[in-house]
């Protein structure tokens, strides 16, 4: 038993850490609880991003489009039937009549996002490096423009409201833990090992006959599923949103969490998310105005983003492998055999 715990400590440790940190919501007021939930939802998104980027080494700017798909799918499925005809009057019949509970709606949101990802993966995953990154960026913009205009399903530029707000701290925590398990299980598969080999040196991997299109697709779709789930949680947390919520800001924020933590390890995804979320929560209090030893500090809107962007730049320049150095966490106690960190 102890040996198993030790073996899977890179996962169990992170689950423990996440669970403990989530308990911060007991300490504060409503606002802290909301911040914890937001951080956990972001963790689901970042872990989704990590599954693809961390294993394949290919940057995706398009994962937030899967989040958008998850959010809109959820809204269509959970907005109460009594209001739905007024919000989305032109929905096709079966969707107009659909009404699901929290868990099935969340899972279906993830699945719809995954199916979308699987379709676009067919052409996209053959691309590599920069071309792939630019192509995923194009996907992000396309999904944004469509979401911003397609009134039938998305409410157009005015967005959607009246989504039941049913994502609580523990719902978000449960999904965050699921995301961690999925990511950990995936990175131990042969697919992921092959991807990681190709990440280190793609030409060399191709030279010895390691083609990774299939493996990339699997990671892409799996990551999209979690992004869809994250979008669903997001929708059921805020209750109302517009397409703007799924564009450059959140793309940057999630990418930053992953990179600051260290994008090649699951620990990096978790620690980056916690670090940026905590910092963000701190800075937002400065923006609102705080009293520190008799001094009233108040900053204008934008300060938080400026500081986050500076941190991101510093990490890219000084510590490109992130806070964790791209390694998994280690068993913290003395053991006879030293455990070897996997990068």
Partner 1 sequence: MEALIQNIINALSLSSLYALIALGMAIIFGIMRLMNFAQGDFIMVGGYAIVILADLPWPLKVLATLLVVVALALAVERLAFRPVRDSDPATLLVTSFAVAFLLQNLALIIFGSLAKATTLSPFLLEVWRIGDLAVPKRDVVMIITTLLLLAGLVAFLDRTATGVQMRAASEDFRMTQLLGVNANKIVASAFAVSGLLAAVAGLFLVSTTGTVSWNMGLNPLLVGFIASVIGGLGSLRGAVLGGFALGTITVMLQAYLPLELRPYRDAFAYSAVLLILLLRPEGLIVERTAKERV
For the bound state, the minimum distance from the C-beta of residue 139 to partner 1, rounded and expressed in Å, comes to 7
What DSSP assignment string belongs to 191-240?
A: HHHHHHHHHH-HHHHHHTT---HHHHHHHHHHHHHHHHHHHHHHHHHHS-
Residue 333 is classified by DSSP as S
Complex with partner 1: residue 90 or 300, whichever CB lies closer: 300
Complex with partner 1: residue 150 or 170, whichever CB lies closer: 150
Q: Which of 6, 4, 17, 8 is nearest to 335 (CA)?
A: 6
Complex with partner 1: residue 31 or 138, whichever CB lies closer: 138
Q: Which of 226, 183, 237 is nearest to 69 (CA)?
A: 226
Note the Cα 206 to chain centre separation in Å. 30
Q: 84-88 contacts: CB < 8 A, separation 24 or more?
A: 87/155, 87/160, 87/161, 87/162, 88/152, 88/153, 88/155, 88/160
Complex with partner 1: residue 137 or 331, whichever CB lies closer: 137
Residue 292 is classified by DSSP as E
For the bound state, the minimum distance from the C-beta of residue 276 to partner 1, rounded and expressed in Å, comes to 13
Token pair in block for residue 239: 């209750």
Token pair in block for residue 34: 């909301």
Q: Determine phi and psi for 60, rounding to 5 degrees.
A: -115, 125
- Quick check: 272 and 322 in contact, CB under 8 A? yes
Complex with partner 1: residue 9 or 220, whichever CB lies closer: 220
For the bound state, the minimum distance from the C-beta of residue 220 to partner 1, rounded and expressed in Å, comes to 15
For the bound state, the minimum distance from the C-beta of residue 107 to partner 1, rounded and expressed in Å, comes to 29
For the bound state, the minimum distance from the C-beta of residue 310 to partner 1, rounded and expressed in Å, comes to 7
Give exposure, 193-223, as e/b (b: 16+ Cβ within 10 Å): ebbbbbbeebeebeeeeeebeebbbbbbbbb
C-alpha–C-alpha distance, residues 93 and 88, integer Å: 11
Complex with partner 1: residue 135 or 161, whichever CB lies closer: 135
Complex with partner 1: residue 57 or 228, whichever CB lies closer: 57
Complex with partner 1: residue 136 or 232, whichever CB lies closer: 136
* Polymer length in residues for the chain: 343
Instruction: Report the interface residues with partner 1, using CB under 8 A.
Output: 58-59, 123-124, 127, 129-131, 133-135, 137-139, 141-142, 145-146, 148-149, 248, 252, 255-256, 259, 299-303, 305-306, 308-310, 312-313, 316-317, 320
Complex with partner 1: residue 13 or 62, whichever CB lies closer: 62
Query: Residue 183 is inside which H or E element, if any?
Result: helix 169-187
- CA distances (Å), 308 to each of 11, 39, 131, 245, 272, in order? 27, 15, 27, 18, 12
């Amino acid at each position: 038993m102890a040996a198993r715990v030790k073996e899977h400590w890179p996962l169990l440790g992170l689950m423990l850490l996440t669970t403990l940190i989530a308990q911060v919501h007991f300490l504060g007021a409503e606002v802290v609880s909301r911040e914890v939930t937001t951080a956990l939802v972001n963790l689901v998104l970042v872990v989704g991003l990590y599954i693809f980027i961390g294993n394949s080494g290919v940057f995706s700017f398009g994962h937030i489009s899967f989040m958008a798909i998850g959010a809109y799918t959820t809204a269509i499925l959970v907005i109460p039937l009594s209001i739905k005809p007024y919000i989305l009057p032109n929905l096709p019949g079966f969707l107009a009549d659909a009404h699901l509970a929290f868990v099935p709606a969340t899972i279906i949101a993830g699945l719809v996002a995954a199916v979308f990802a699987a379709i676009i993966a067919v052409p996209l995953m053959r691309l590599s490096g920069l071309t792939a990154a630019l192509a995923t960026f194009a996907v992000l913009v396309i999904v944004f423009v469509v979401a911003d205009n397609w009134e039938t399903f998305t409410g157009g530029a005015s967005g959607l409201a009246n989504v039941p707000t049913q994502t609580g701290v523990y719902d978000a925590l449960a999904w965050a833990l699921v995301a961690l398990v999925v990511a950990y299980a995936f990175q131990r598969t042969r697919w992921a090992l092959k991807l990681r080999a190709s990440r280190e040196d793609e030409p060399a991997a191709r030279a010895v006959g390691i083609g990774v299109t299939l493996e990339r697709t699997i990671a892409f779709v799996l990551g999209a599923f979690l992004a869809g789930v994250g979008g669903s949680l997001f929708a059921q947390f805020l209750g109302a949103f517009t397409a703007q919520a799924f564009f450059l800001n959140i793309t940057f924020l999630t990418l930053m969490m992953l990179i600051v933590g260290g994008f090649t390890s699951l620990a990096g995804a978790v620690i980056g998310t916690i670090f940026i979320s905590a910092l963000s929560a701190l800075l937002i209090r400065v923006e609102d105005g705080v009293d520190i030893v008799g001094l009233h500090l108040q900053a204008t809107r934008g300060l938080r983003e400026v500081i986050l962007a500076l941190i991101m730049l510093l990490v890219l320049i000084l510590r490109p492998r992130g806070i964790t150095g791209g390694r998994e966490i280690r068993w913290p106690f003395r053991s006879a055999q030293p455990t070897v960190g996997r990068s």
